[in-house]
Amino acid sequence: MKTSGNIWKNDQGFIWMLVIALLTLVSTQLDIGIFGESKLLIRLGFFLFTLLAIKSSSLSRTGKLVGYTFALLMLLSALAIIRIESSTLILLYSILSTGYMIFILWLVVSQIFAHEVITANKIFGGVAAYIIIGHLWTSMYHTIYIIDPSSFQSAGEAFHTTAEALKHLSYFSFVTLTTIGYGDILAVSSEARILVMLEGLTGQLFPAIFIAKLVALQIEHSRK
């Protein structure tokens, strides 16, 4: 793997991945102020950064091609939505976003365990992966909402717009991931409830498995 222009050199990419994942998270909840006004730019920044992360990663050529394909299809569908605001196109974009989040999560985890040496930056990478899991479930919830707007309710009512749904479902995703569960937003349909249960399990299991794996790698490296 080349090191020139490589954001993963010295594991620096994990810090940037954490920062941009956090900025994306915060921007979903703010409609005013610097984050609200820059929401589109932040999302574009996340998209461009992940492309750079794919390019300089240790993934195989086939793995990188999968990532580029998802990115290209997302870009084309986003441009199509600007010209033709169709529910079918919005659904397609949401599905592609879900696939892309899965890929980025795989990318980050792969980079963390690409070498046996454990660094502080890889811990930041684990936190970034955890946040990306929240973004992933947001995309899945949003996809279900587009298919069936009655799948989720807030204060006993369905969301009025897709933008409002995305904002509240992002909040709902991270409340579920961290198993806080305030109960102000409810999953109504069977599909939504299944996803909620799976995210709750993931929120509990991922940190435990991730830490256990890091400890095992560190012990193995120390023995060598």
Residue 210 φ then ψ, to 5°: -65, -45
pLDDT at 39 over 70: yes
pLDDT, one tens digit per residue, over 169-216 is 999 999 999 999 898 999 999 999 999 999 999 999 999 999 888 888
pLDDT tens by residue, 49-94: 999 999 999 889 999 999 999 999 999 998 898 888 788 999 999 9
Q: What pLDDT score does 41 carry?
A: 84
Q: Domain coordinates of the chain in residue numbers?
A: 11-223
**What is residue 2's predicted lDDT score, i.e. its pLDDT?**
43
Q: How confident is the model at residue 103 (pLDDT cuts 50, 70, 90)?
A: very high
What's the half-sphere exposure (Cβ side, CA atoms, 13 Å) at 12? 9
| pLDDT score, position 155 | 82
CB 158 within 8 A of CB 149: yes
Cα distance between residue 202 and residue 207, in whole Å: 9
pLDDT-derived band of residue 96, with 50, 70 and 90 as boundaries?
A: very high
Residues 172, 192: contact at Cβ < 8 Å? no
CA 20/CA 92 separation, integer angstroms: 24
Amino acid letter for position 104: I
> What confidence tier does 219 reach under pLDDT thresholds 50, 70, 90?
confident
Q: Do residues 202 and 101 touch, judged by C-beta distance below 8 A?
A: no
pLDDT of residue 164 exceeding 80, the answer is: yes
Could you tell me what percent of the chain has a pLDDT over 90? Answer: 63
pTM summary value: 0.91
Higher pLDDT, 29 or 72: 72
| Residues 91, 147 contacting (CB under 8 angstroms) | yes
pLDDT for residue 1 is more than 60: no
Q: Give mean pLDDT, residues 136-151.
A: 95
